[in-house]
Amino acid sequence: MTSLTLALSKGRILEDCLPMLDRLGLAPAGDIDRLLRVPSRDPNLHFLIIRPTDVPTYVEHGAADLGIVGKDVLMEHGGEALYEPMDLDIAKCRLSIAVVKGSPFDRPPGTPTTLRRRVRVATKYPEITRRFFAARGEQVEIIKLYGSMELAPLVGLADLIVDLVATGNTLKANGLVETEIICQVSSRVVVNKASMKMKHAALRDLLARLQTLRAAA
């Protein structure tokens, strides 16, 4: 039998995937809190438990045959080198622009700025942000952060943020408001292009099993 390696995004996506994998009889058979390479209950499937941002890299280079990763991470990484055959519809959120409520930046999307400097945008997604504003003909100063973006406009580090929003509770708790949605986000299955050819039957079967769960959800 062909063996497959699946790169799983640690954190929310892993949590959301576990019940799905369990229903398919594919749950990890090992300590997912410590082990980085974990067998599944199916001897032909192994998991790599890695940081979400590393999943596209592992799959692109063939260190994993397939992966499960957020659309946000894929858009930032650039997904051209990967197949993206399935939307799992889990870990759903949106990527949005947010500002301090009532600040000069709290205004309708696209309102021209009267600032004499570039608007400063704090984000974990510099590429998506650059593309989004460039498409609108705006050049912004991007401040790359690795988490807790909501803090940046509160302490004057940035004028606005580009970050994920789900319930909106984090924005609200920090006195921020969402002014514009850039895109909707959910978790996707991505597949290495060479694996899709060389391990076609095994991948087709696994994708079909994941698809039945989606249909049943």
Q: Which residues bind ligand ATP (CB under 6 A)?
A: 9, 11-13, 51-53, 70, 72-73, 91-93, 147, 164, 166, 185
Chosen from ligand PRP, ligand ATP, none, partner binding at 169 (C-beta under 5 to 8 Å by type):
ligand PRP
Transcribe 141-202 into DSSP letters: EEEE-SS-TTHHHHTTS-SEEEEEESSSHHHHHTTEEEEEEEEEE-EEEEEEHHHHHHTHHH
Chosen from ligand PRP, ligand ATP, none, partner binding at 207 (C-beta under 5 to 8 Å by type):
none
CB of residue 58 vs ligand ATP: minimum separation in angstroms? 14
Task: Annotate each residue in 126-165 with x if it binds ligand PRP (CB under 6 A) or - if it does not, as one string.
Answer: ---------------------xx-x------------xxx
d(CA 128, CA 95): 10
Which lies closer to ligand ATP via its Cβ, residue 1 or residue 33? 33
What is the number of alpha carbons within 13 Å of residue 187 lying toward its C-beta?
24
Q: Which residues inside 17-56 make contact with ligand PRP, applying CB under 6 A? A: none
CB of residue 13 vs ligand PRP: minimum separation in angstroms? 11
Residues 6+ apart with CB under 8 A from 150: 98, 161, 163, 170, 171, 174, 176
Residues 6+ apart with CB under 8 A from 36: 48, 49, 50
Please give the size of the binding site for ligand PRP, defined by CB under 6 A.
11
Max distance between CA atoms of the chain, in angstroms, equals: 64
Of all residues in this chain, which one has the CB nearest to ligand ATP in the complex? Answer: 70
CB of residue 200 vs ligand ATP: minimum separation in angstroms? 28
Q: Please select the residue that binds ligand PRP; options are 31, 33, 108, 167, rule is CB under 6 A.
A: 167
d(CA 29, CA 77): 30
CB of residue 91 vs ligand PRP: minimum separation in angstroms? 10
The footprint of ligand PRP (CB under 6 A) covers 147-148, 150, 163-170
